[in-house]
Amino acid sequence: MQAAPSSGIAAGKLRPELIIIVGGLISSAHASMMIVTPVMPDFIDLIGGSVFTLGLAFSFYGAGRFLTNIPAGALSEKVGRKWIITIGGLGVAVFATLSGVADDIPTFLAFRFLCGVASSMTIVIANVVAADLSTVDNRGRVLGLLHGMQLVVGTGSPALGGLVGELFGPRAPFYVCGVAVLLFALWGIARLPETRPAPGSPDAGERVRHSASPRGALFLLRDASFFIVCVTGFTTFFLRGGMATTLIPEFAHDVLELGPGAIGLLFTFSSLMHGALIYPAGAMADKLGRKIVIIPAGILTGVSIAALPFADALPTFVGAFALLHIAQGWGGQAPVAYVADLAPHGMRGMAIGLYRTFGDAAGFIGPVISTSLVALSYHVAFGFNAALWTLSIIAFAYVAVETAGKHRKRGPIAAPESAAAERVQA
């Protein structure tokens, strides 16, 4: 299919259909993990597993994503975005379905690992495509739309999975997820253009040699602004795994004595509120800059986290919880847009893959560290999360250089003049 240069589409020609396809691929791939959450304990019992197996299922899925982020991004610079993202979507459809068919633990874990690999191919390259289809002037809004779709689907998919599991058994949600991803993958094959700039075109520019190798990753990480936004990505995913899905539900259950239904309702409402704020926050990030969105929202997030363990009554807890999600919704998309702003020609896939690898690493260790600290107290556990997050935001405020809006001071990372010999035509 004819390549669609990113600049041509972004300059007022961005078709809603493309946003729906890319957002649908991100959302349905993300749902491959979320929709099966309510039925996973019953499914593990069905195939003869234990609680340890349940943990391994999520760990294998996460390991697949962690190991694939950078290779998928780098490969997209060589062979193009379209086939990586659609093959990833087809892979999620196949391996999610096969996970539901599995009758023994080793087979099931192998399929969950492969589903994580395919999910990474889809989600990383979908973000790359979104960056290709946007410019620094509208990137916050484009990514805001995609992340809003992901939040809505992520919020609703566990409820759907629970309902389908109740009606048709614990294997059924795996099949539903597979069908959803398959439909978007086929739509992408038929209608999604190749967004990687054609070699030799003005959009392709120059790229650094070794851009698809570990040396390319080191080249990016030597840039202080890129390194610090990756650190911010690490702490963002640390909060998701170590606080949002572990500490908060445990605190609500143990201290506030809320049941699963009440906790689920609280998260559903907050996530919808979170999603509603992403697009206007993206518009502000495009107009005024990324830092003016990231830093105030980040400080408010840190304050809200620190306040949670002191909110031992339901009204105060709901207030702190709502404030937390308002802050996270306001600042949630801007770091990814910042990464895309910094990515040099020919390294957008590597840059976004590297950012998400930092995040997936935090997703491994966040739950373990946070739940271990609960043995000391909830105040220590929440305080650690608040301190880690706030320190990363303060570091970002001092180190990162503005890449968008009326205060923009820099563009993509450029190779130093002393390394000019290391640059080749894309």
**Pair 21, 106 in one domain:** yes
Q: Rounded distance, CA 347 to CA 132, Å?
A: 12
Instruction: Please provide the distance, in angstroms rounded to a whole number, between the alpha carbons at the two ends of the chain.
Output: 20
pLDDT digits (tens, 9 = 90+) for 164-217: 888 888 899 899 988 989 999 999 999 998 888 765 555 555 555 555 566 778
What domain count does the chain have? 2
Most confident of 235-239, 332-336, 367-371: 235-239
- Are 140 and 290 spatial neighbours (Cβ–Cβ below 8 Å)? yes
- Please say which residue of 148, 175, 204 terminates a domain: 204
* pLDDT at residue 157, as a whole number: 79
**Pair 49, 134 in one domain:** yes
Q: What is the largest CA-CA distance in the chain?
A: 65
**Percent over 90 (pLDDT), the chain:** 35
- Are 228 and 395 spatial neighbours (Cβ–Cβ below 8 Å)? yes
* Helix 105-132 with 348-373: angle, nearest 10 deg: 130
* pLDDT at residue 159, as a whole number: 74
CATH number at 299 reads 1.20.1250.20
33 has pLDDT over 70: yes
Average pLDDT over residues 21-28: 90
3-state SS string over 356-398? HHHHHHHHHHHHHHHHHHCCCCHHHHHHHHHHHHHHHHHHHHH
Non-local (6+) Cβ contacts of 250 within 8 A are 371, 374
Q: Rounded distance, CA 402 to CA 229, Å?
A: 12
pLDDT digits (tens, 9 = 90+) for 236-275: 988 887 787 778 888 888 888 877 667 767 777 777 777 7
Q: Which of 155, 152, 87, 94 is nearest to 124 (CA)?
A: 87
Non-local (6+) Cβ contacts of 411 within 8 A are 136, 341, 403
**Pair 10, 145 in one domain:** yes
**Pair 102, 241 in one domain:** no
β-bridge partners, 207: 424
Average pLDDT over residues 91-102: 94
Q: Is residue 367 part of a domain?
A: yes
